[in-house]
Amino acid sequence: MTALLLLAAHLALPAPRPVYRLRPATPDTRLLVPVGTGLGAVLLLGNPGVALAALLVLGTTGWVVREVRAGAARRRREAHAATFLGHLAGELQAGSGIAAAFGHAAGHLPAGAPQELADLLRQVGGLTRQGRSAASLLREGPPELRTLGTLWELSERHGLPLVPLVEQAQLRIDARLRHHATTHATLQGPQATAVILTLLPLAGIAMGTAMGAHPLGLLFGGGIGDLLLVTGVALAAGGLVWSRHIIGRAAA
């Protein structure tokens, strides 16, 4: 039971910050209160079947919330990276040196840009002002700028102009954002269907209760009810996770 509690808490909490982020990690406690309350209620119930079903619900909910937040954060990073690359290409086309171009492009980042992106670009600008290459630093940075690091290294190694390479990197990110926006709008129907199908058993329980069948008494009463409850919750949770996996691959 202890292992199941730890697994549910792990799934419900946000993912740790990647190692490339430069500022100190600040714990996100927004999910700690509901998770702790839910786990405390599970412990007080004392019924193994109900406890396991509650753990499945908590774990699945935490996983879905974490995936949604991670996807939204990734798209914000891509949008800010595309903005930066556009300004960088414009500065290079205007004849600015690489150090000045990085400084001006980083200065045009929106106020809501992720702090780790701003910190990385500030460090890159410092290296370029010293006459050093920061291509390796970018290649170890966030995924949205790794391509820029690779292209920069190729430009230095083979003497290629950097401007068209930066423009291609920006166009690639813009195309990915447009693709996601289009597929997200197209997949609204399947996503809603997946949620409705997941919650459909609750409607069945409500109808049974209205008809006087007392399904909750059976499900929470132990014995065969435990088996039915855990099996039903596991199937609903598995269906939701699998449907999000399929929809996520279609939107990728």
Return the amino acid letter for 150.
T
Mean pLDDT of 148-153: 81
Mean pLDDT of 43-60: 80
Nearest-angstrom CA–CA distance, 29 and 217: 35
Task: Report in angstroms the alpha-carbon separations of 83 from 1, 75, 153, 160, 204.
Answer: 49, 12, 21, 23, 49
Mean pLDDT of 180-191: 86
> Is residue 73's pLDDT more than 80?
yes
Structure tokens at 87: 């300004």
Q: Is the pTM of this model over 0.95?
A: no
Nearest-angstrom CA–CA distance, 118 and 10: 29
